[in-house]
Amino acid sequence: MKDQAIAKLKAEMDGAKSNEYIRVVGQYLTGYIEANPEAAEKIMAADKTIAKSLDAMRNEAQKKKVGNVAMFTPQQGFEIVMKYFGINGAAAVPAQPAQTPVVTLAAAFDVSLDDLLGG
């Protein structure tokens, strides 16, 4: 099942080549499955996608924002993604990838979280 889950993630990443966030989260999840193959079943859920995990992150940002700004550390962002896929617990979040984005929403720059997440 590990190989199927990785193939599912790669297919979504390949289908969204212009969305860096899907690629970053997909690489993160691929690495996680490599280290924790028992999580593959959670990734294989038909209704779970990387794009929808970014929607979950956006929803959390909406709850947390102050004015027009909401931020997560990379750790917090990946914890939201892991929770979306049903992989809970602090131990579920491995070391961060080298190029990890921080989700920021700021009106002064005329950028919305939707723009950042490709929505």
- Could you tell me what percent of the chain has a pLDDT over 70? 74
Residue 29 near residue 93 (C-beta atoms within 8 A): no
CA distance linking residue 114 with residue 16, whole number of Å: 15
Q: What's residue 115's pLDDT?
A: 60
pLDDT (tens place) for every residue of the chain, 119 residues total: 999 999 999 999 999 989 999 999 999 999 999 999 999 999 999 999 999 999 999 999 999 888 888 888 888 999 999 999 999 754 444 554 545 555 544 444 455 556 656 65
CA distance linking residue 119 with residue 115, whole number of Å: 6
> Would the pTM count as exceeding 0.75?
no
Q: Which helix (H) or strand (E) holds 55?
A: helix 50-64
Radius of gyration in angstroms for the set of CA atoms belonging to the chain, rounded to a whole number: 14
Residue 42 near residue 87 (C-beta atoms within 8 A): yes
Strand partners, 106: 111
